[in-house]
Every structure is written in structure tokens, then in C-alpha cells.
Amino acid sequence: MTDIIHPDVFHGLPVLTLPSKDEPGAGTLPEPDSVAWRLECAWSEETFAEHWQRFLTEVDPARVRALLIGPWWKDEYTPLEPVIATMVADAHRFPALRALFLADAESEECELSWLQMCDVTPVLEAFPLLEELAVRGCGETAPESEGLRLRPVRHESLRTLRFESGGLPGHITRAVGACELPALEHLELWFGSEWYGGDTTVTDLAPVLSGAGLPRLRHLGLQNSEIQDEIAVAIASAPVVARLDSLSLSMGTLSDTGAEALLGGQPLTHLSSLDLHHHFLTDPFVARIETLCTREGVRVDLEEGDKWDDEDDESRYVAVSE
């Protein structure tokens, strides 16, 4: 299993958690644009609204370049929606904001499937200069009108979009494909398990695989999927692949079926890197891929997943689910 952890660096900046008001050194803070600020209030006496207001007072928001929202709840898990509403209301105070990470919570703080997500579209609408958006959280089994949601939008500046999920709903994948993102260079989708709402299909991915609306895309990650073989078959002939610099089909249930499709499909030798870690390939297919990539100068990650039973397909599993 892949551990869900806090990043040390975000948008090229070291991450600093805003100290609680009583913490030693709380009054000595770095320059606002020198770090990525992480806000959390789960272990303090402040509510998120109080924590947010103190942040605006102690740090010049006009110079903040990157922001991570950690645990925002106090005693019981609460929806993210009020947090987004608060941020959107103050969006005019953050002219330099270029990167946002929603729900930067580790497993010990909250399981991925327990994070109560909401519509994340308002942050794209409120921050037109945003270059990077990361969203962590499952769709679980919430209806399309609840939980994690995204409406198709046009955003001129977004260069990196990442959904880290143990169960990404198909309607999110379809919304991503329907967005107009002319500057997007890096797209990463973790699909997860159907048990936790991950019902994305290859059909849902068709707009992404065509590449028609993603003219600048250079990295594509279609990861952590129970249908990793089906995705690999689609990738074998997907038009978007020819323009990629790197491709990740990692963290999922990739087997020899998917590997055979990749080896027999369009060339992947133009890639600088191919990430297949957490796979379930047999040794002969690992050797074939490794030999091809080594010969063509493609960096490849073939670290395998732990299979419980070599004879049982049911023993294959995604790296991140609950």
C-alpha cells in the first residue's frame, strides 16, 4: 500500500505549517513568498475560520504563492465546503497565489474515504491565475450531487491538475475531459476502488485520451486503477501519447494483459520516463519492458506490488483505496 503523506515541497517551495498561536516561535515567520503555507487546526483551540483570520493577519496574503489546506475540522469530520467558501470570499487578497492543495491530510489524521469533499470548481473560478491544483479525497459512494464534484470550466493558466483518490467518481473524470485547459502540462488521476466510488470507465477517459482539448499536455498519469489493463489497452492507441514526455500507469492492477497491449501498441520509446510501479506482471513481461526501455533510454519504474496469490487475479489490488 502507498502511504498518504504530507508533501515536504509544494509548487517548488518548502512546506511550512502555520504555527499555532501559542507555539514557540509563532511570532517569527518567514517571508510570505518563500514557503508554501499549510493551514490546519485539528489540534489547536482555533476553528478554521479563526485560524484563517489569524493567517491573514500574520502573513501578507498578497505575497502568498502556494497554500495547502490540512485538517480543517475540530472534533468530528466536517465538509470542506465552508473552507472553500471562506477562501473564495477572500480570493481578491491573494493576487500572487499560484498553487493550492485541498485536503492535505495523512491517513493517521483522516482516511482518504472519510474526507468530506465538495464542489472544487469555485476555486478555479475565483483564482484565474492558479497554475497548480491538487485535490485529495474519495468520492466514496456519494451521489453525483454530493461529495467531490467538478463542473467543466475554461481555465487559461492551470498547468498541473492532480486528483488523489481511492475512489474517483466517473463524473469527475468526465468533467476533467470536458474542461478547457489550454495550458495544462501535467494531469494525474488516481481512480481507486469501485468499493469507494471509483467507477470511472475507459469511455469516460475518451476526451483525455484524444488529447484534443489538452494541446500542451506532457505528463499523463492514469493511476491506482482496478481497470489498469483496460486503460493500458486504450493507451496503446491513444492519440495523446505521441506528445507526452512521461506516462504513469502505476499503483493499479496492471497484469500481463495490459503489458502485452503496451508492447504491441504505438511506440513508447519517445518517452523520457514510464512509471509502472505497483504492477502484477510476470517476470518475462518485466524483462521485455525493461530491455526495451533500457535500449531506448527510457527511465522505467517496475517495482512490483505484493501479490497474495500468484494464481488468483483477485489478489491484485490498487495501492490506495480507503
Could you please report the per-residue DSSP string of 10-30?
ETTEEEEEPPPTTSTTTT---
202 contacts 168 by C-beta, under 8 angstroms = no
Q: What is the pLDDT of residue 29?
A: 93
DSSP letter for 42, please: T
DSSP letter for 149, please: B
The radius of gyration computed from the CA coordinates of the chain, to the nearest angstrom, equals 20
Cross-sheet strand order for the sheet of 246-248: 9-10, 13-17, 36-39, 66-69, 99-102, 132-136, 160-164, 186-192, 219-225, 246-248, 273-275, 299-301
Q: Whole-prediction pTM value? A: 0.95
Q: Identify the burial level of 281 via C-beta atoms within 10 angstroms of its C-beta, where 0-12 means exposed, 13-18 middle and 19 or more buried.
A: buried
What CA–CA distance (Å, rounded) separates 190 from 200?
A: 10
* Averaged pLDDT in 10-residue chunks for the chain of 322 residues: 81 95 74 97 87 96 97 87 96 98 89 89 98 88 78 98 95 97 98 93 98 96 98 98 98 97 96 97 97 97 77 78 88
Q: Phi and psi dihedrals of 195, rounded to 5?
A: -60, -30
Q: Where are the beta strands (DSSP E) in the chain?
A: 9-10, 13-17, 36-39, 66-69, 99-102, 132-136, 160-164, 186-192, 219-225, 246-248, 273-275, 299-301
Q: What is the 3-state secondary structure (H, E, C) of 193-252?
A: CHHHCCCCCCHHHHHHHHCCCCCCCCEEEEEEECCHHHHHHHHCCCHHHHHCCEEECCCC
Q: What is the pLDDT of residue 308?
A: 58
What CA–CA distance (Å, rounded) separates 103 from 80?
A: 8
